[in-house]
Amino acid sequence: MKSIIPIFPLNLVMYPDSIYPLHIFETRYKKLINWCRTEKEGFGIVTKIDENISTVGCYVEIVEVINVFENGSLDILVRGRERFQTVSTELHPHGYIVSHVVPYFDDEHHSPSLPIENDTISKFKNILDRTEIKFDERYWKNFNKSQNKSYKIAEKSGMNLKQQQNLLSLRSESDRLKFLFQHFQKLEEYLDRAAVLKEIIAGDGYIN
pLDDT digits (tens, 9 = 90+) for 76-131: 999 999 999 999 999 999 999 999 999 999 987 666 778 999 999 999 999 888 87
pTM, 2 dp: 0.90
Q: What pLDDT was estimated at residue 194?
A: 58
Q: Is 46 in the same domain as 92?
A: yes
Q: Is 91 helix (H, G, I), strand (E, B) or coil?
A: strand
Whether the pLDDT of residue 207 is over 60: the answer is: no
148 pLDDT more than 70:
yes
Integer Cα distance of 80 and 175 in angstroms: 20
Q: What is the DSSP code (8-state) at residue 188?
A: G
**In terms of residue numbers, what domain contains 94?**
4-103
Q: Which amino acid is at 21?
A: P
Percentage above 90 pLDDT, the chain: 76
- The answer to whether 179 and 192 are in contact (CB under 8 A) is no
- Which residues lie closer than 8 Å to 154 by C-beta, 6 or more apart? 15, 164, 167, 176, 180
User: Is the residue at 207 inside a domain?
Assistant: no
150 inside domain = yes
Contact partners, residue 34, CB within 8 Å, separation at least 6 = none
Backbone angles phi, psi at 111, to 5 degrees: -70, 150
> Has residue 208 been placed in a domain?
no
Domain boundary among 59, 82, 103: 103
Structural domains in the chain (count): 2
Is 39 in the same domain as 125?
Answer: no
Domain of 65: which CATH number?
A: 2.30.130.40
Please report, in angstroms and rounded to a whole number, the separation of the first and last CA atoms in the chain: 24
Question: What is the rounded distance in angstroms from the CA atom of residue 85 to the CA atom of residue 192?
Answer: 40
Q: Which residues sit opposite 83 in a β-bridge?
A: 58
Which phi and psi (to 5°) does residue 53 adopt? -110, 130
Last residue of a domain, one of 54, 73, 103: 103
Q: Which residues pair with 91 in a beta bridge?
A: 97
pLDDT digits over 15-62, tens only? 999 999 999 999 999 999 999 999 999 999 999 998 899 999 999 999
What lies within 8 Å, CB to CB, of 132 at 6+ separation is 194, 198
CA distance 14 to 37: 20
pLDDT at res. 138: 93
Say if residue 2 is exposed, middle or buried (CB neighbours under 10 Å; 0-12, 13-18, 19+).
exposed
What average pLDDT does the chain have? 91
118 and 151 both lie in a single domain: yes
- Boundary of a domain, candidates 46, 77, 103: 103
Q: How far apart (Å, rounded) are the C-alpha atoms in residues 26 and 24?
A: 6
